[in-house]
Chains A and B, each alone.
Chain A
Amino acid sequence: MKFLRDALDGIKPNFTSGGKWEKWNPVFETFETFLFTPDHVTTSGSHIRDGVDIKRLMTVVVLALFPALFFGMYNIGYFHFEQLVALGQQDSYTFMEAFLFGLWKLLPIIIVSYAVGLGVEFIFAMFYGHSIHEGYFVTGMLIPLIVPVDLPLWMLAVSIVFGVVIGKEIFGGTGMNILNPALVVRAFLFFAYPTFMSGDKVWVAGASEVDGMSGATILGQLGSGAEAVVDKTYSVMDMFLGFIPGSIGETSTLAILIGAVMLLLAGVASWRIMLSGVIGAAIMSALFVLWGANPLMDFGFKHLLVGGFAFGLVFMATDPVSAAQTNTGKWIYGFLIGFLSILLRVLNGFPEAVMLVILLLNVFAPTIDHYVVQASVNRRNKRVEDKIKKALSA
């Protein structure tokens, strides 16, 4: 790869301060560090450094999203063709057809996500004169996985601009934001285009065009009292494997679990948040089963398999920047996400509960941490108080 390195070194002076294209330095640097890790060496302090850095970390997260991404592609095709077959408009379809149809549908969403998001990042990077930080690498992959398949691309673009600017850049960029930018995008979509996002048309590709096709999500159907339909159509195994309608990447609990294992092995995400989230949701679901007043309550532990709960908990709640930062705080934060998600979902009939609760807890995470850290501060202060008391009594 020496010729490439030489070529880069050849044009590099143009981008350094005083060069012809000085302004474009962030762009150049981004591509350069993508191809080659920089030759930065330590100057003081620890002369050796761990091999992991933000670029490598973010790469692991994106790789962990791949199982959900690939399953999402197949899921798009599966529901599209299943319904066409049911309506008698098509005889049969193959696995490959379903997958390629999904790819065809998903690719524009991914392209728009990265193009718009990175565009915003580039503008801010050039404005502030820093290189482009890797955060959007992950956000750009998360967004396509949490939107419905038939979402118009312009809506997606508008939401991404809002999400990246308001959710991240105004706070100072990666590492400084208080909300998860991908969830801000999702929330913006939900509140800006509610009629579109809460209908039963967007969740299955083609449902808005083909008469007789329906794409209501399980929670939507349960909420409207169609529990018999749900029971008949979807087995628990379907829910676990992901053969249910929903946002593109959130349906398969199995694929998400594979991603979760990758994240945990790489030490990227917090197992405390994931575990306490599952515990919180299980407790709330169990309580509702005891109450048992409506189909949503009777749904029980199956709540953990639908409505993006697994996806939210594994990929959204564990975002280290917007989550609680102390270990004790992470237990509380994760538990509340699980607990409140099911509460809100059942009592308010909010299918989007997971997303909203994670955003809510993002806001409260600093408060949780504050009390956890304050406990340590108090222990320190108490040492002084004890000493004074002892001195006074002596």
Chain B
Amino acid sequence: MSQDIRIKRGVDIKLVGKAEKMFANVTQAKMFALQPDDFHGITPKLTVKAGEQVKAGDTLFYSKYNDKIKFTSPVSGEVVEIVRGAKRKILEVKVLIDSEITYKEFSTSSSSREEVIETLLESGAWAFIKQRPYDVIANPSDKPKAIFISGFNSAPLAADYDFTLQGKEKSLQKGIDIMSILTNGKVHLSLDGSKPASIFQNISGVDVHNVTGPHPAGNVGVQIHHIDPVNKGERVWTVTPHDLVIIGDLFLTGNFNAERVVALTGSGVNKPRYVKTIAGTSLENILKDSLKSTDARIISGGPLTGTKVSKNGYLGYYDNQITILPEGKSHRFFGWVPWLYNNIFSIAGSSFASTGKEYDMDTNKNGETRGFVVTGEMEKVFPFDIYPMYLVKSIMYNDIGEMENQGIYEVAPEDFALAEVINTSKIDIQKVVREGLDLMVKEVG
């Protein structure tokens, strides 16, 4: 049974710098890093020391509170450095790649759920499986009521799976087969209803849903809400198609092969296109000839949800996109006068989404942070049966019961990304929502 979904509330932000569907010629980086901060809520316990040799798939660290959840090296080589920050917090575990990658062998048997979980945990691929509520790495002892896969990304400048996953259909199908072993419920796959064909068209063993409408139609949280919403006490798991391919590969070959095709996007890039690389890669080679200006914001991920990184930084573990935007650290004379600076769009004030124009946005906040004033604006881009401002306010005053009532179990920070973009009061809503989820994990679990 398939159920089609039409999203009405939302907006497609068209930005300059969409990746052209071709590969850039980039030399493979020498250095790779696993950054514990990529895994929200995980406190790392190291299992390696600087100087040790590791294979791809060897554990670098594990979760302090659940030692079964392991995080493994995406490449083989020498652990050269463990970078620590304040209070000796581990920031990066750096691995210098071998000339040829050697892989640790894992069992490919998938005869039982326990076996599959064991292999996923051992190989580090478990980290790809996230749970709702809370948008954190799934707990292997849970039994999810369903698994959701969003087959497209509607966010601005997002990578096109039809291009990045081409030729991987077999791994994808294997990944889906593995997912159906993990749950007694259904595996839901949502596809972009406006596209006639996609890489997923011959996939079997899933409930397919055609989703149409503007961003955030591609957000898995929105799809869950419309297909089979998460209630209190329930767990669903989610996984992205590009991670599913790695899981599929693992069970086809026995190797943890964290290859990624990454979209290099944004108005700060000379030639936006795709790059073949491996999770955790140093960005140095990729950025070397691509940056238009040195004063640029480098984002691992998309413009709405990515993480700011330095020029010598690393690709985030889950990311398949790098976005470069011009920094907006400048003053504008009488910049608040309406209609004076037309380069800046105003979603609240115009139907800019309907025009085909691509916008070149910088990182200026375009205003100062204030208390909530304007009402009804978040609802325009928040396709849930949830009142976003009430939920955000309940988080701000730390009322757990109220958060639960207002539907916190169904949302992830990324679902609020658009609300944050258009917010007139310039409040960092995604951060607020993440804090709310953290509090819920701590208090309710």
Interface centre among B297, B325, B366, B423 (most CB of A within 10 A): B366
B386 neighbours in A (Cβ, 8 Å): 376
Partner of A320, one of B304, B308, B373, B407: B373
Per the bound structure, the CA–CA distance linking A114 and B381 in Å amounts to: 36
- Chain A residues 30-64 with CB under 8 Å of chain B are 33, 35-57, 59-60, 63
In the complex, the answer to whether A53 meets B332 with C-beta atoms within 8 Å is no
CB-defined A-B contacts under 8 Å, sample of 12: A40-B426, A41-B363, A43-B428, A53-B365, A53-B425, A53-B426, A174-B371, A175-B370, A175-B425, A176-B371, A266-B348, A383-B229
Partner of B331, one of A5, A133, A135, A172: A5
Per the bound structure, the CA–CA distance linking A1 and B347 in Å amounts to: 29
**B376-413, CB under 8 A of A: which get 1 and which 0?**
11010000011101100000000000000111000001
In the complex, the answer to whether B431 meets A44 with C-beta atoms within 8 Å is yes
In the complex, the answer to whether A47 meets B299 with C-beta atoms within 8 Å is yes
A37 neighbours in B (Cβ, 8 Å): 331-332, 335-336, 364, 366-367
In the complex, the answer to whether A46 meets B424 with C-beta atoms within 8 Å is no
A5 neighbours in B (Cβ, 8 Å): 331, 333
Per the bound structure, the CA–CA distance linking A39 and B377 in Å amounts to: 24
**A254-277, CB under 8 A of B: which get 1 and which 0?**
000000000001111010000000
A379 neighbours in B (Cβ, 8 Å): 385
Per the bound structure, the CA–CA distance linking A330 and B376 in Å amounts to: 10
Contact A36 B371, CB 8 Å, known A48-B363, A50-B348, A53-B426? no
Partner of B390, one of A174, A321, A373, A387: A373
CB distance from A292 to the nearest CB of B (A): 39
Closest to B359 in A: A48
Please list the residues of chain B having a beta carbon within 8 angstroms of any beta carbon in chain A. 13, 15, 229, 231-232, 297, 299, 303-308, 323, 325, 327-338, 341, 344-350, 361-377, 379, 385-387, 389-390, 405-407, 413, 417-418, 420-426, 428-431
CB distance from B324 to the nearest CB of A (A): 10
Q: How many residues of A contact B (CB 8 A)?
A: 59
In the complex, the answer to whether B367 meets A54 with C-beta atoms within 8 Å is yes
Interface centre among A1, A49, A135 (most CB of B within 10 A): A49
Partner of A47, one of B297, B350, B387: B297
Per the bound structure, the CA–CA distance linking A174 and B425 in Å amounts to: 11
Contact A266 B431, CB 8 Å, known A33-B368, A176-B371, A379-B385? no
* Interface presence of A384 (CB below 8 A): yes
In the complex, the answer to whether B306 meets A47 with C-beta atoms within 8 Å is yes
* Interface presence of A325 (CB below 8 A): yes
In the complex, the answer to whether B373 meets A53 with C-beta atoms within 8 Å is no
Interface centre among A51, A176, A265 (most CB of B within 10 A): A51
Partner of B365, one of A41, A56, A323, A326: A41
Closest to A48 in B: B361
Contact A384 B232, CB 8 Å, known A39-B331, A175-B370, A320-B374? yes
Interface centre among B231, B232, B336, B413 (most CB of A within 10 A): B336
Per the bound structure, the CA–CA distance linking A376 and B330 in Å amounts to: 43
Contact A327 B379, CB 8 Å, known A40-B368, A47-B297, A51-B344? yes
Per the bound structure, the CA–CA distance linking A206 and B420 in Å amounts to: 52
CB distance from A278 to the nearest CB of B (A): 19
In the complex, the answer to whether A53 meets B424 with C-beta atoms within 8 Å is yes
In the complex, the answer to whether B307 meets A49 with C-beta atoms within 8 Å is no
Per the bound structure, the CA–CA distance linking A158 and B86 in Å amounts to: 54
In the complex, the answer to whether B338 meets A50 with C-beta atoms within 8 Å is no
Per the bound structure, the CA–CA distance linking A132 and B307 in Å amounts to: 32
Contact A45 B428, CB 8 Å, known A174-B373, A380-B407, A383-B231? yes
Closest to A2 in B: B333
Per the bound structure, the CA–CA distance linking A240 and B107 in Å amounts to: 83
B371 neighbours in A (Cβ, 8 Å): 133, 172-176
In the complex, the answer to whether A327 meets B376 with C-beta atoms within 8 Å is yes
CB distance from A4 to the nearest CB of B (A): 8
CB distance from A334 to the nearest CB of B (A): 13
